[in-house]
Amino acid sequence: WILMVTAQSPTNIAVIKYWGKRDETLILPINDSISVTLDPDHLCTTTTVAVSPKFEKDQMWLNGKEISLAGGRFQSCLREIRSRGTDYEDQEKGISIKKQDWEKLNVHIASFNNFPTAAGLASSAAGFACLVYSLAKLMNVKEDQGQLSAIARQAHLTLQGSGSACRSLYGGFVKWAMGNDPNGSDSIAIQLATEAHWDELVIIIAVVSSRQKETSSTSGMRESVETSPLLHHRAKEVVPKCIVQMEEAIRNRDFPSFAKLACVDSNQFHACCLDTSPPIFYMNDTSHKIISCVEKWNRAEGTPQVAYTFDAGPNAVLIAKNRQVATLLLQKLLFYFPPASETDLSRYKLLRLCF
């Protein structure tokens, strides 16, 4: 027999960023963060996990290519889930698995991204959330989503890892509470609002460069924690206030406040990267031009129409306040930042929030 579970997980984009860990092993952040989960039709990972007594070893394929599972963090994630597995019975198929059997059964994992991994569009966040969720379902784990998010947070593979993965376990607007417990038990994702709460927002991702970033988030944030005084000021003094204001802006669907907070936060995060020694440059000239263009437009309108935010790379995530604005934005982008050919719209991905 073979027992199989398939799960789909979207990626998320932070509007108040996570940058810096207070514990690298447990992946505990130095500040709370807030993200929006993207529409799974556009950016998502689909993962199928299976167990069978016939499987001789744990194996995983990413976009059809087998990858090594040697990474200690992946193994520890698998161990965590196996230890939480409960009895499973399917009389029709003649399957009976006892709690302790999960430790002995090997798993096969096949994961696909529906977007280019190389574009650096937060692909790992989707991957881990999906992996943890599908393994937990397969092994009949009874823990709630909050506790699963704690496992997703630690589900680092050696090739891609992501603490921010824990936010992808929910749709809509999600907060990753940093928590205080040294063992990480209260560092979990919480849904602030569902996708239906604010569904006028439209997200456009401008792929400025599909080159893989030079400094990974993991090493970038480690260097910032070690050398940037601005980062510590941000985590202690700035983010706690912004989190409260951002929660309120989301609750009230207050776009001007939402946009202001998101843009300021993105700029401060990149300022912390510049304040790191040696400095880390994630944005390029095109990213800066996009920022100027949005800032000018927002000023001319007298009230923000579009918010921008940049993760650890040059690609712009633009959030328009509604469809009309998104259409105008796309026109502006195509005019000022034309793609290589007229028919090539691939650099702009139009994404709506899940709804």
Residues near ligand DP6, by CB under 6 A: 14, 17-19, 27, 33, 124, 161-164, 217-218, 221, 311-312
Shortest distance, position 334 Cβ to ligand DP6, whole Å? 26
Backbone angles phi and psi of 82, in degrees to 5: -55, -40
CA distance 206 to 346: 9
CB of 34 to ligand DP6, least distance (A): 9
Q: Give min distance, CB of 125 to ligand DP6, in A.
A: 6
Query: Identity (one letter) of the amino acid at 55?
Result: F
Per DSSP, the residues of 75-126 read: HHHHHHHHHH---EEETTTTEEE-GGGGGTS-EEEEEEESS-GGGTSSHHHH
Residue type, 18: Y
- Minimum distance from residue 339 beta carbon to ligand DP6 (Å): 25
Report which residue's Cβ sits closest to ligand DP6: 163
Beta carbon of residue 41, minimum distance to ligand DP6 (angstroms, whole number): 21
* Cβ nearer to ligand DP6, comparing 187 with 305: 187
Give the residue with the Cβ less far from ligand DP6, 21 or 347: 21
Cα–Cα nearest to 276, from 227, 325, 211:
227
- 45 versus 124: smaller Cβ distance to ligand DP6: 124
Give the chain's end-to-end CA distance (angstroms, integer): 37
Contact between 163 and 27 (Cβ < 8 Å): yes
Nearer to ligand DP6, 233 or 332 (CB): 233
Cβ nearer to ligand DP6, comparing 39 with 311:
311
Minimum CB separation of residue 43 from ligand DP6 in Å reads 13
- Residue 89 CA to residue 162 CA, distance in Å, equals 34
Smaller CB distance to ligand DP6: residue 200 or 247? 247
Residue in this structure with the two tokens 């633009």, named with its chain if needed? 318
Q: Which is nearer to ligand DP6, 162 or 191 (CB)?
A: 162
With CA atoms as reference, report the closest residue to 326 among 349, 346, 344.
Answer: 349
CB of 176 to ligand DP6, least distance (A): 8
**Cα of 219 vs its chain's centroid, Å:** 17
149, containing H or E segment: helix 145-154
